[in-house]
Structure 1
Amino acid sequence: MYKILAADDEEDTRDTLCNCFPWESVGFTVVHQAGNGLEALSYLEANPVDVLLCDIRMPMMSGLELCKQIHQRRMGVRIVLLSAYRDFEYAREAMTYGVSHYMLKPAKYDDIVGVFTQLKTALDEAKDSLAAEAAEHGGALPGSGWGDPVISTIVKCVNTDYRTVTLQLVSETVEMNSSYVSVYFKKKTGMHFSEYVLKVRMEKAAELLKHGYMKAFEVSEAVGYANPKNFIRAFKQFHGITPGQFKNGR
């Protein structure tokens, strides 16, 4: 099930939409309800979701401002905006922030089915595409975050610059706070960022050792370890044998 965060300051409207529509039948589940944009943003900073279902007019932070924050932080959340106002300017501004769909309130049953069926198809296709890409570059990760463009960017960064990559580097690449990226990566993939970097380095080290022409200290440097002893220790913990034993086929 893909996760939905619903944000609307009208509690009755929000509860009806969240609890009366059969979300599971279209492949979604509502994991949280927020009464304003600030509350929704706070939840998103600590709890990655797949879709934000959001009213445009809310106190403290409007739906449009929330969309702008999500867009600027590249949170990788699909957005469906709800509004009781037939205002083209709202819709046009919303599209500049990558909003997926715009629905008028009260949302009709058939409209919700149509919009979220399209969203599920798009999420499924993105997930399958990124999973195939990840398998090609270091293997698939546990978890369900492959439909997320931020995770895809981080994975590409690690697989390209595994020798020198850091959490700060990928955070700057995706333009997010490093603490948030650390939490986000773990929640989306089921693996800590440092664990994924280790995985990529150790698999690359094994690949280099298989060729047989590089010594352990050379492989150590090639995958980002200045101290060969630290490399040997990490390799043995990951593969269960030392680099020398691996190279000799033991």
Structure 2
Amino acid sequence: MLKVLIVDDKPSVCAGLARLIRWEEAGAELVGTCGNGKEALEVALRTEPDVLITDIRMPLMDGLELCAHVRERLPDTMLVILSAYHEFSYAQTAIRYGVTDYILKPIDKTKIARLTAKLREWAADRESRSRFFGLFYDKEWRAKLVAGVKTGDLEFVADCFDTVFKARDAMGRDTVKEIGSRLLDAVPDIVRDIGLTPDYFGIDWERERREFGQARSKEEMMAAVQSLYTGMARTVMERKSGRGEAVAEKLRHIVKTQFANPDLTVYTIASELHLSPNYIGLVFRQWTGENLSVYITRLRMERAKELLRDPGATVHEVAGRVGYADPHYFTKVFKKQEGLTPSQYRNMALRQGRDGE
């Protein structure tokens, strides 16, 4: 339950908030009210509130100075500013102190309802963080997660994530990001506990972290991390059943027959097979030792070199026939792969052909 401290030099404001906020519904409790910043700082250091709601203009110590002290000494406390319209510039200044939210005066029922909802959201978010770290550092739970991956138990791994993200709807984006980062960082240790190596799973750390960092929503973050763990468990399961090799062969076939399609990507292939992009990438690297996207590019370049030996085919035509709608991008990729532009490669190939006659 969140502990809340209210600070305002007007007793009516403190009393009104104390009376109107539905504390039980918000998952919070009021630990005190104060009339100035100096008194509030003393109470805050004694009670360590989770949330501090403070006015700006007050005697002895104003709200901004109070926020600065609290941020320094109680960094986990969330700060909420009460601000009149003509004090809005002060509220902007408070952002430097990490203020979580602000409420414009006068305070009415709508703002009280909004504040109650915010408190409820923060309480659920705090509870989720507490639950996760309780699990994360619990040796028994961690051992079960390791066992789930090691035995290829997909259902158990999914249940572990359901437990971690139990209150996902109420969890803030920052909390999901922190939890996801911890789970990503834990993978090397978990792989080592299993007695295997990252190469066994074909894990591309740079790509995994990049995809997680590029996630646009908390749902995408959760999916990225869970996909990695379930992908490892699936890899173990399919190593045992031999299905992974069949999937890798299917991927080879799709690329060989569809590489000329400009829309062909790891994501479209995954969609076609009703599998996750992360999973097919893991399986392909595991069975071939090559990144799937690299394989697609390699086949396109090999076919492009064959076509460029025909002096009648333009670079624009070759680009289209190997899956590149933009010939300029095709040229850029070709040069990166071969060290020559398509035109330079053609001239070299034709010259070698004449010299060999």
Scaled by the length of structure 2, what TM-score is found? 0.37
Q: 1:139 to 1:92 in 2, by over 3 A?
A: farther
Q: Which residue of 2 aligns with 1:101?
A: 101
Distance 1:126 1:31, change over 3 A: closer
After TM superposition, give the deviation of residue 60 of structure 1 in Å: 0.5
Q: What residue number does 2:54 align with?
A: 54
Question: 1:86–1:104: 8 Å Cα contact kept in structure 2?
Answer: no
- AA at the equivalent of 1:78: M
Structure 1 residue 8: deviation in Å?
0.8
Task: Give the C-alpha shift of residue 126 in structure 1.
Answer: 3.4
Q: CA deviation at 1:64?
A: 0.7
Q: How many residues align?
A: 144
Partner of 1:18: 18
Deviation for aligned residue 1:138? 4.2
Q: Which residue pairs with 2:196 in the alignment?
A: none
- What is the 5 A alignment of 1:143-158? none
> Could you list the runs of 5+ residues in structure 2 that have no partner in the other structure?
141-171, 183-357
Q: Which runs of 5+ in 1 are unaligned?
A: 141-146, 157-250
Deviation at 1:116? Answer: 3.2
Is 1:5 the counterpart of 2:5? The answer is: yes
Q: Deviations over 1:29-68 (max 9, x none)?
A: 2121111111111011111211111111111110011001
Measured in 1, the distance between the counterparts of 2:111 and 2:133 equals 33
More helix by share: 2
Paired position in structure 1 for 2:44: 44
Q: Which runs of 4+ in 1 moved over 6 A?
A: none
The correspondence of residues 108-127 of structure 1 with structure 2, limited to 5 A, is: 108-127=108-127
- What is the identity, as a one-letter code, of the residue corresponding to 1:19? R
Distance 1:102 1:68 in 2: 15
Higher alpha-carbon Rg: 2
C-alpha distance in structure 2 between counterparts of 1:38 and 1:130, whole Å: 31
Contact 2:27 2:119 (C-alpha < 8 Å) held by counterparts: no
Secondary structure of 1:86's counterpart equals helix
- Asked if the contact 2:27–2:123 (Cα under 8 Å) also holds between the matched residues in 1, the reply is no
C-alpha distance in structure 2 between counterparts of 1:132 and 1:119, whole Å: 20
Give 1:139 deviation, angstroms. 6.5
- Post-superposition CA distance 1:150-179 (Å, at most 9, x none): xx9xxx9xxxxxxxxxxxxxxxxxxxxxxx
Which protein has greater RCO, CA pairs closer than 8 Å, 6+ apart? 1
Query: Could you tell me how far 1:75 is from its partner in structure 2?
Result: 3.4
The amino acid across from 2:87 in the alignment is D
- State the one-letter code of the partner of 1:18: A
CA contact (8 A) 1:101 1:115 kept: no
Alignment check: 8 A CA contact 1:53 1:82 kept = yes
Q: Give the match for residue 87 of structure 2.
A: 87
Aligned equivalent of 1:134: 134
Displacement of 1:21: 3.6
Q: Deviation of residue 89 (structure 1)?
A: 2.0
SS at match of 1:79: strand
TM-superposed CA distance for 1:78, in Å, is 1.1
Secondary structure at the residue paired with 1:87?
Answer: helix
Provide closer, same or farther for how the CA distance between residues 118 and 22 of structure 1 changes in structure 2, counting only shifts above 3 A. Answer: closer
**Closer, same or farther in 2 for the Cα pair 1:118/1:136, shift >3 Å?**
same
Q: Take 2:48 and 2:131, find their aligned partners in 1: how far apart are those partners?
A: 18
Please give the TM-score of this superposition, normalised by the length of structure 1.
0.51
Letter in 2 for 1:49: P
- Tell whether the 8 Å contact from 1:82 to 1:102 is kept in structure 2 after alignment: yes
Tell me the equivalent position of 2:251. Answer: none
User: 1: distance between equivalents of 2:102 and 2:6?
Assistant: 14
SS of equivalent to 1:59: coil
What is the deviation of 1:136? Answer: 1.9
1:31 match: 31
